[in-house]
Amino acid sequence: MRVTLFRLLLATATFAGTVNTAAADPDKDRREDKRDQRRDDREDRRDDRRDDREDRRDDRQDDRKDDRQDRRDDRRDDRRDDRRDRRDRRDDDRPREAPPSARDESRERGGTRNGFVWVSGQWDWRGGRYEWVAGHWERERAGRRWRDARWERRDGGWVRIDGDWIVGGPSNAPPALKPERMQFRNGYVFVRGYWDWQNGNWQWIPGRYEAKQNGRRWRDTRWEQQNGVWVKFDGTWETEYTGPTVAPPAPRDEQLGAPRTGYVFVRGQWDWRNGKWQWVPGHWERERSGRRWRDARWENRNGQWVRVDGDWEVYTPPAYPTSAPPSPRDEQFGARAGYVWVRGAWDWRNGNWDWVPGHWERERAGRRWRDHRWEQRNGQWVRVSGDWEVYTPPAYPTSAPPAPQAEQFQPRAGFIYVRGRWSWQNGNWQWVAGHWERERANSRWNEGRWEQRNGQWTWIEASWGAAPAPSPYPTGAPPAPQAENVQPRSGFYYVRGRWNWQNGNWQWVAGHWERERANAQWNDGRWEQRNGRWEWVEGGWVNVQPPRPSQPAPPPPQQENIQPKAGFIWARGHWGWHEGQYQWIPGHWERERAAKQWVEGRWEQQNGAWIYIEGSWR
């Protein structure tokens, strides 16, 4: 009894749980849907955050790469500038140009001064340029005389030889040089003898051989008269001149490309290397404050062309330009919705005209951009910066639209290209690029256009219109046949492609192969103009006989007297070739056919043989 009661209670509880579960299922489904939705939202947000992190990381990496590249470029430019500075400082220690002529010091010198010697003034090289050092008086020295300083050219540069006190020399010129016999010795140079002043007499010093030195030549000893006394200049080895003796070629034309802010372009030049002219391309140099670049140049000095290196010279640029700016450069730019193109302009920087390229500016409601300009005021040119001015654009164009822009496009099957046009927006003409439209059956696209109505320009929108019924016959001659590249094929004949008139347009029908036929020849089809319209004459195979030199041209057709017959047309008789002679074949009646026309047969000469083309309905 107890067991039975327990089973009854268990069954009742199970049934009640089943009912409650069934009743709660809808709420559980809604909770699960909400939970799934929240989980999906969290995953979406997590994916978005991950994408944002990746984008930021990529941007940081790109920025770091750009920064590293910029730093590398700056360091490279700085190193190059440092090298050039060191080279300039090294070159400054020795001038490349000959010193100027000595100044006249007769006023400063005055008369003579007892017990003193006048030391002439001279040019000295200081700070990369020649500076004049005035002359002065020096107290005389017993048994010695003063030899003035001088400049000598050595190794492509000018070297200053300081003046000094030397033992007193002769007052009369040295005797004439003695003749000397010399023989050629490979690898040696003969140094000529000379007169020397020793113990108050002229003594002859015989010549001798010196071993050759590569790239150098011997300069003989010589005597020069200075201040009434003859001074000896010892012989020495000096660098042999291997430079050019002809003028350099004309400079080449160099494309500078876009200007670089903060840089100056050092133009290319010709350099003399290994006995010939070589072109050295130009390059960009970083600007230097208070200096401007002077290009290198070649000068002719005593029949020798000497290169004067370019350098940075001290320069105080004028605050205002002294001449009108150059003509604006041509800039290529398209249309950009919502933006205005600010044209490039010339700017005055460091005493030179620098071009500032144009850029895009976002449009501003009720305003329009007024370009930069230069105005001459009180004898000087002043720059008036561009700005946005208040502007109420006219609702309609005040002038005709510009010429349409050229557009490059390829045909696209099933589509027509709607050409671009000019649109009037905010008081300016804006170009709207063309686009493709899908073709419509029995419709034709009518292009839009600008028309002047009542003194103002109005846009007529483009639209689809009903297409006119295509002409069943061509309205003009067919185009030239298209080129077809085919290789010969044994046992076959290639029938060339042709133009076909379909739906009011010319359509190209490609050629095809036909198997050859015995004693037959293919006659190509052709377009012929008949009764003012173009008609197609079909090609086909015609029977041919081997060419017979004895076959003459057919005789004239015989006269046939016939009376008209309603519903019929008369097919004229013709000559036929049979057993080596022409035979007349009488004409016959043919019943008329709707929309067809009878084309008479005819004889044609092809490849030296006469062939008859049968008449047919077309």
DSSP-derived letter for residue 276 is: E
- Structure token pair of residue 381: 């040119």
Collapse the DSSP code of 502 into the 3-class scheme (helix H, G, I; strand E, B; otherwise coil) and give the result. Answer: strand
The answer to whether 590 touches 598, Cβ cutoff 8 Å, is yes
E-assigned strand segments in 304-438: 304-308, 311-314, 339-342, 345-349, 352-356, 359-362, 367-370, 373-377, 380-384, 387-390, 415-418, 421-425, 428-432, 435-438
3-state helix, strand, coil in the chain (%, to 5): 15, 40, 45
Q: 612 and 548: one domain?
A: yes
Collapse the DSSP code of 443 into the 3-class scheme (helix H, G, I; strand E, B; otherwise coil) and give the result. Answer: strand
More confident residue, 599 or 147: 599
**The predicted structure's pLDDT at residue 19:** 46
Rounded Cα gap, residues 118 and 106, in angstroms: 11
| CA–CA distances in Å: residue 356 to residues 258, 268, 317, 376 | 9, 24, 19, 20
Q: 497 and 581: one domain?
A: no
Rounded Cα gap, residues 486 and 482, in angstroms: 13
Q: pLDDT-derived band of residue 77, with 50, 70 and 90 as boundaries?
A: confident
Judge whether residue 427 has pLDDT over 60: yes
- Structure token pair of residue 36: 């799934």
Range of the domain at 63: 1-92
Q: pLDDT-derived band of residue 531, with 50, 70 and 90 as boundaries?
A: confident
**The predicted structure's pLDDT at residue 291:** 84
Q: What are the pLDDT digits (tens) for 494-505? A: 999 998 887 777
Give me the amino acid identity at 265: F
| CA–CA distances in Å: residue 249 to residues 9, 118, 266, 281, 298 | 120, 48, 18, 14, 11
How far is CA 165 from its chain centroid?
Answer: 67
Task: Look at residue 538 and tell me if it is in a domain.
Answer: no
Q: 517 and 549: one domain?
A: no
Q: 502 and 549: one domain?
A: no
Judge whether residue 280 has pLDDT over 90: yes
Stated as kind and residue range, the H or E segment containing 522 is strand 520-523
Sign of CA dihedral 42, 44, 49, 54: positive
Q: What is the secondary structure of 533-583 as a DSSP string?
A: EEEEE--EEEE-PPP-TT--PPPPPPP------TTEEEE--EEEEETTEEE
The residue among 50, 66, 92 that closes a domain is: 92
Domains in the chain, number = 3
Rounded Cα gap, residues 444 and 440, in angstroms: 8
Task: Look at residue 121 and tell me if it is in a domain.
Answer: no
Judge whether residue 590 has pLDDT over 50: yes
Q: How many CB atoms lie within 10 A of CB 177?
A: 13
Judge whether residue 157 has pLDDT over 80: no
Point out the least confidently predicted range of 154-158, 440-444, 506-510.
154-158
The answer to whether 123 touches 100, Cβ cutoff 8 Å, is yes
The single residue listed with the structure tokens 């502007």 is 391
Calculate the average pLDDT of the chain. Answer: 82
Max mean pLDDT range (266-270, 421-425, 485-489): 266-270
Q: 516 and 552: one domain?
A: no
How far is CA 104 from its chain centroid?
Answer: 58
**The predicted structure's pLDDT at residue 507:** 85
The answer to whether 369 touches 388, Cβ cutoff 8 Å, is yes
Point out the least confidently predicted range of 82-91, 414-423, 590-599.
82-91
Give me the amino acid identity at 101: S
Q: What is the mean pLDDT of residues 108-136?
A: 83
Task: Look at residue 570 and tell me if it is in a domain.
Answer: yes
Q: 504 and 562: one domain?
A: no
Share of the chain above pLDDT 90, in %: 7
Q: pLDDT-derived band of residue 93, with 50, 70 and 90 as boundaries?
A: low
**The predicted structure's pLDDT at residue 4:** 57
Q: 554 and 497: one domain?
A: no
- Structure token pair of residue 453: 């109505």
Q: 68 and 18: one domain?
A: yes
Judge whether residue 281 has pLDDT over 90: yes
Rounded Cα gap, residues 101 and 222, in angstroms: 23
How far is CA 555 from its chain centroid?
Answer: 72
- Compute the half-sphere exposure of residue 489: CA atoms within 13 Å on the CB side of its CA: 12
**The predicted structure's pLDDT at residue 154:** 72
The answer to whether 432 touches 421, Cβ cutoff 8 Å, is yes
How far is CA 432 from its chain centroid?
Answer: 27
**The predicted structure's pLDDT at residue 528:** 87
Q: What are the pLDDT digits (tens) for 228-277? A: 788 888 888 877 667 788 889 999 988 877 778 788 889 999 998 888 89
Task: Look at residue 216 and tell me if it is in a domain.
Answer: no
The residue among 53, 68, 92 that closes a domain is: 92
**The predicted structure's pLDDT at residue 223:** 86
Task: Look at residue 217 and tell me if it is in a domain.
Answer: no
Q: Annotate 152-166 with b (16+ C-beta within 10 A) or e (fewer).
A: ebeeeebebeeeeee
Residue 92's Cβ-count burial label (10 Å; 0-12, 13-18, 19+) is middle
| CA–CA distances in Å: residue 513 to residues 494, 516, 525, 568 | 4, 9, 15, 38
Q: What are the pLDDT digits (tens) for 2-21? A: 545 556 565 665 555 544 54
Judge whether residue 205 has pLDDT over 90: yes
The residue among 56, 71, 92 that closes a domain is: 92
**The predicted structure's pLDDT at residue 249:** 93
Judge whether residue 22 has pLDDT over 60: no
Q: 490 and 558: one domain?
A: no
Q: 501 and 549: one domain?
A: no
- Structure token pair of residue 41: 């939202």
- Structure token pair of residue 262: 């903060």
Q: 494 and 551: one domain?
A: no
> Which residues pair with residue 506 across a beta bridge?
501
Task: Look at residue 33 and tell me if it is in a domain.
Answer: yes
Judge whether residue 84 has pLDDT over 80: no
- Polymer length in residues for the chain: 618
Q: What is the mean pLDDT of residues 201-215?
A: 88
Task: Look at residue 296 and tell me if it is in a domain.
Answer: no
The answer to whether 132 touches 123, Cβ cutoff 8 Å, is yes
**The predicted structure's pLDDT at residue 426:** 73
**The predicted structure's pLDDT at residue 270:** 93
Q: What are the pLDDT digits (tens) for 313-339? A: 887 777 788 788 888 888 888 778 788
**The predicted structure's pLDDT at residue 316:** 78
> Which residues pair with residue 501 across a beta bridge?
506
Q: 501 and 575: one domain?
A: no
Task: Look at residue 209 and tell me if it is in a domain.
Answer: no
